[in-house]
Amino acid sequence: MAVIKCLLIILLLVIGQSVCLQDNETVVNNTVVENNVNRLPKYIAPFHYDIKLIPHIVEDNFTSDGEASIDLEVREPTNTIALHSLELTIDESLTRLTRKGSDDVNAVSNYVPKQHEYNNHTQILTIRFKERLDPGIYNLYLKFIGVIRDSYIRGFYRSFYTDNEGHKVWLATTHFQPMSARQAFPCWDELAIKATFKFSIKHYPNYTALSNMPSVRSEIDPIDGKLWTYFETTPVMSTHVLGFVIADYDYVSNLDGTIKVWVPRHLLRYATFPLDVAEKATRELERFTNSTVPMPKMDHVAVPHFSSSATENWGMIIYVQYAFEKSPKFETAMLVTHELAHQWFGNLVSPVWWDYLWLSEGMATYLKYYITDKFFKEWRLMDLFVVQREQFMFLVDSSSYKPININVTNHLDVHNAYSYFYTYVKAAILLRMASHFLREDVFRNGLIKYLQRHEYSNVTPDDLWKALQDALDESDVPHDDFKVKEVMDTWFNQGAYPVVTIDRNYDTGEIKVTQHKRVQLSKDNDITEENNTWWIPLNYMTQSDLNSSTLATHWLKPQDESITIEGIDINDWIIVNKQLTGYYRVNYDVINWRRIAAFLNSDDYDKIPILNRAQIIDDVYYMMKTEQIDFNIFFEVINYLSRESDPVPWYRVFQIIQPLITTYLSIPSAVEIFKPYFFNLTYNLIEHIGFDDHPDDDPVTTEIRLKFNKIACSYNTHPKCREKAITKLLAYVEDPIVNEISFEQEFFFCFGLVQANESIWNQFLQRTNETSTNSYYLFPLLSCSENLDILEKHLNLEKIDYNSFFGNMLENLLDIDMTIDLFIKKFDQIIADKSDEYILHEIIMRSIEGDQIEKIKAFAEQRGLDISKHLAYRKESLNKINDYLSKIRAFENNQFSVPMHITLNNDTSQANKIDT
Ligand SMILES: *[C@@H]1O[C@H](CO)[C@@H](O)[C@H](O)[C@H]1NC(C)=O
Ligand SMILES: *[C@@H]1O[C@H](CO)[C@@H](O)[C@H](O)[C@H]1NC(C)=O
Ligand SMILES: *[C@@H]1O[C@H](CO)[C@@H](O)[C@H](O)[C@H]1NC(C)=O
Ligand SMILES: *[C@@H]1O[C@H](CO)[C@@H](O)[C@H](O)[C@H]1NC(C)=O
Ligand SMILES: *[C@@H]1O[C@H](CO)[C@@H](O)[C@H](O)[C@H]1NC(C)=O
Ligand SMILES: *[C@@H]1O[C@H](CO)[C@@H](O)[C@H](O)[C@H]1NC(C)=O
Ligand SMILES: CC(=O)N[C@H]1CO[C@H](CO)[C@@H](O)[C@@H]1O
Ligand SMILES: [Zn+2]
């Protein structure tokens, strides 16, 4: 259902908000989240923990007995000790505080608490003493019972897998990030309160206990026959990257046993690829950071239930099992690299507080592309980064004002600090930008300094900027006109991004560069402006100078009204922001745009670097949408795509031309024109990448092929797609295990089924019911038919979801007339299910032809339905479409100039205005 709404928003057209974001910043509505994160007083500093745990991984019990012995320093006189604790039952009678005499180490003073006070909301346990505690070194002992929580929850929790014999096998794991260590044992659970930790865990001997450090020894307890595993003491570290797993797993290992990948025994085959990546990524990261992994060993553990894709516990990374079993290889590889990068960025050096979480997440995100790219070159991950992340981030950032540095005060803020787009992606984009204007080697030297200076400690962005500045000062990169901190603060402390405008005077040769406040695309199409300005690194290439340096040749400063670039040949074109290393868009004067378009439409088009081709497409589209340039320029640029066989520039194109396609190809009278246009535009691309997947394809190629196939099948632009769909379907019916297809490729089944007769349908249903793991395919596919009898039969099935049935019919653009007929026929059932409003709305929005809407109006009248609201919405949408179509038509009449691989139908007379 979400999908069809997206399509309709897109149909609402190009000038509107066609961003269809998945909201990954889900707001947690728990009451706790609005509470302030109460900070622990600073006058107590723990420095070593000795934690003993006896987890009972037994159904009907799932508790954990624990003891904590914590060495701490009292820095100012006090009579209270406050620390975090959650869901722990403390045996108060056994709590004790001891102090070793400062002169005579044998003189020990004991303190018995007067009171334990627990605050439910702050999760803080305050222990009060009668006596004043003078500054000095103390030991706090606590005995407690905790719970091993249910699956998927953070903290200390249980999970299970089903082995080959069908037995449920329990295991226990942790997920402490961001603030759940306190649920496993009492502790000072804040990022910057670092200490050393020594764990001992008792468990059944048929399980293995893993933790951050290697086990130093193990020993059977003669009383109950269970095994104690004792771990080495950790380096100085934060609580949120501690962890342990108790499971009966198997592993694969590198030669010297320092890297192991742990999985349930029957899944061992999935462990070899992550191991290979872990070895390669470790080697590259060690080279990059000029240091060794700061831990004696690194375990990579897959657990069945995990509420994120992975967590970077120091020395023991935990992944969701799915990431090894099912994810595409390039994603698994980048995930492993990301978590390994954290071993330095995040664990060795950590942000002081959640305000700057990007110092670990943004860095790990940048490095997962940059480092993985070094050993899987063929995947073109840095290109993927730009077209998949940077260009998408422009969309996100067009409708938001969020800065990356934030002030975190309550639990909701902590949650928001994990904002995927800002903390991870945008920060990574800006780090890439810095790596180019500083030059990669200088950037790296700065990071090495940063790690050396702040190891085992905490940092703010200023510490990073300082290290980069020092590396810059020592380098031969010209740097008199900017300061790293000053530049980067403008990008991290304010939201959005700038648009740089290039205005050329073709008489004087002068080129004027200004930064324009980004133009916002708001929901109602208002174009609003903001007052932000940035420090913008500029570089450029021209037709006669295609040099590839990405250092900044000019800086556009926040206070500059404009700057000028000189010495460019008047007859050249200029393209600013090489390789899209600067996080900004560029607009040009009309003549320069036209020259770029003409060059792209020539045989020399590939002299413009691939990422700039991608940039030009995305920028020209944005300028057109925000009415900063003429529609025709957009079309002139887009037409070059008929030459483009490299999938990288196509990445955004499918998102951009989706509205055109959806509009044009769903209007029967426009199909004749647009189908050949689309066929010709994609001809070279498809010649190059083909319809079928190959194991060695890079991720962009795979994704572009998938997107292309979806369009080709939906609109039947390329008959080969539906041929392929029926082949895949028949193969599946033959052997559903061997020929299983992934969720992303499910649409092939749909378009195979559209062509299927009743007998194939029955075989398909039978196969899918037999192989229960595939049954999730079933429901969305039931509407994939253009045979009324089959559709009706499916609608009579029990538990049918009308909304998704009709939603899918419309999304897959199966026959609209048939959808209307079916809706009318089944209306009584639908209304009984209360699904009528939604479906009616969707159908009305899709009923573009006059006789379709008349049929619905007549039906509504007959049944006394008020559809005026839907009609008004449809009218508004169609007005926009008409407006758009008229623009396209004006252009198409004289300039649809794609090189023809098949003849374009010149008869536009049918493509008349749509009836609203
Ligand atoms: C959100 O709040 C609703 C109503 O108070 C509650 O039913 C639901 O479980 C909450 N969801 C979460 C994730 O806490
Ligand atoms: C859980 O098992 C342990 C060990 O057998 C036992 O000491 C403890 O009392 C049990 N807890 C519960 C709640 O049954
Ligand atoms: C607070 O404590 C009470 C009593 O122990 C408990 O019932 C309740 O669930 C707790 N509330 C929260 C939010 O943990
Ligand atoms: C481990 O041993 C315990 C006690 O003998 C037994 O209950 C449990 O089923 C065993 N677990 C596995 C995974 O073998
Ligand atoms: C890497 O470390 C070695 C040895 O400590 C040192 O000599 C070298 O200069 C370092 N390289 C960089 C780029 O920091
Ligand atoms: C955070 O607080 C500082 C100091 O009060 C303020 O200058 C800054 O604008 C705040 N940032 C945000 C994102 O609210
Ligand atoms: C950009 C991104 O990370 N999107 C993710 C948002 O969350 C959904 C569902 O959890 C994922 O499928 C997307 O990949
Ligand atoms: Zn991370």
SS (H, E, C) 809-865: HHHCCCCHHHHHHHHHHCHHHHHHCCCHHHHHHHHHHHCCCHHHHHHHHHHHHHHCC
Nearest CA to ligand 1 atom 1: 29
Nearest ligand to residue 290 Cα: 5
pLDDT of 197: 98
Counting from 1 in the atom list of ligand 1, the atom nearest the Cα of 29 is 1
Q: What tens digit of pLDDT does each residue of 750-801 get?
A: 999 998 999 999 998 888 877 755 556 677 788 999 888 899 988 888 778 8
pLDDT level of residue 270 (50, 70, 90 thresholds): very high
Tokens 């006789």: give the residue. Answer: 851
Q: What is the 3-state secondary structure (H, E, C) of 860-897?
A: HHHHCCCCHHHHHHHHHHHHHHHHHHHHHHHHHHHHCC
Sign (positive or negative) of CA dihedral 827, 830, 836, 841: negative
If one residue of 27, 28, 30, 34 were mutated to test the ligand 1 pocket, choosing by the most ligand atoms within 8 A of its CB, it would be: 30
Contact status, residue 212 vs residue 313, Cβ threshold 8 Å: yes
How far is the centre of ligand 5, averaged over its atoms, from the C-alpha of 476 (Å)?
Answer: 18
Least confident of 36-40, 329-333, 479-483, 708-712: 36-40
Q: Is 163 in the pocket of ligand 4 (CB under 6 A)?
A: no
Distance CA 82, CA 44 (A): 8
pLDDT of 430: 98
How far is the centre of ligand 5, averaged over its atoms, from the C-alpha of 548 (Å)?
Answer: 28
| Residue 843: C-alpha distances to residues 486, 792, 814, 821, 856 (Å) | 54, 18, 12, 11, 9
Mean pLDDT score across all residues of the chain? 88
DSSP conformation class of 318: E
Q: What tens digit of pLDDT does each residue of 102-150 get?
A: 666 566 789 999 999 999 888 999 999 999 999 999 999 999 999 999 9
Flag whether pLDDT at 19 surpasses 50.
no
| Integer-rounded Cα radius of gyration of the chain | 31
Least confident of 228-232, 306-310, 882-886: 882-886
Q: What tens digit of pLDDT does each residue of 524-561 get?
A: 444 455 678 999 999 999 999 999 999 999 999 999 99
pLDDT level of residue 669 (50, 70, 90 thresholds): low
Q: What tens digit of pLDDT does each residue of 803-836 get?
A: 888 888 887 777 888 899 999 998 988 888 787 8
Q: Is 21 in the pocket of ligand 5 (CB under 6 A)?
A: no
pTM of structure: 0.87
Flag whether pLDDT at 576 surpasses 60.
yes
In order of their start, the domains of the chain are 2-34 (no CATH), 43-248 (2.60.40.1730), 249-329 (3.30.2010.30), 349-492 (1.10.390.10), 499-642 (2.60.40.1910), 720-784 (no CATH)
Flag whether pLDDT at 741 surpasses 80.
no
Q: Is 204 in the pocket of ligand 4 (CB under 6 A)?
A: yes
* Six token digits for residue 702: 């795979």
Flag whether pLDDT at 451 surpasses 90.
yes
Mean pLDDT along residues 675-695: 88
Q: Is 106 in the pocket of ligand 7 (CB under 6 A)?
A: no
Nearest CA to ligand 2 atom 1: 61
Flag whether pLDDT at 597 surpasses 70.
yes
Mean pLDDT along residues 724-753: 87
Mean pLDDT along residues 373-382: 97
Q: What tens digit of pLDDT does each residue of 202-254 get?
A: 999 999 999 999 999 999 999 999 999 999 999 999 999 999 999 999 999 99
pLDDT of 16: 30
How far is the centre of ligand 2, averaged over its atoms, from the C-alpha of 202 (Å)?
Answer: 14
How far is the centre of ligand 8, averaged over its atoms, from the C-alpha of 413 (Å)?
Answer: 17
pLDDT level of residue 891 (50, 70, 90 thresholds): low
pLDDT level of residue 912 (50, 70, 90 thresholds): very low
pLDDT of 893: 52
Flag whether pLDDT at 908 surpasses 70.
no
pLDDT level of residue 290 (50, 70, 90 thresholds): very high
Flag whether pLDDT at 405 surpasses 80.
yes
Mean pLDDT along residues 598-611: 96
**Nearest 5°: CA angle at 691, between 687 and 695?**
105
Q: What tens digit of pLDDT does each residue of 834-878 get?
A: 878 888 998 998 887 788 899 999 999 999 889 999 999 888 888
pLDDT of 396: 86
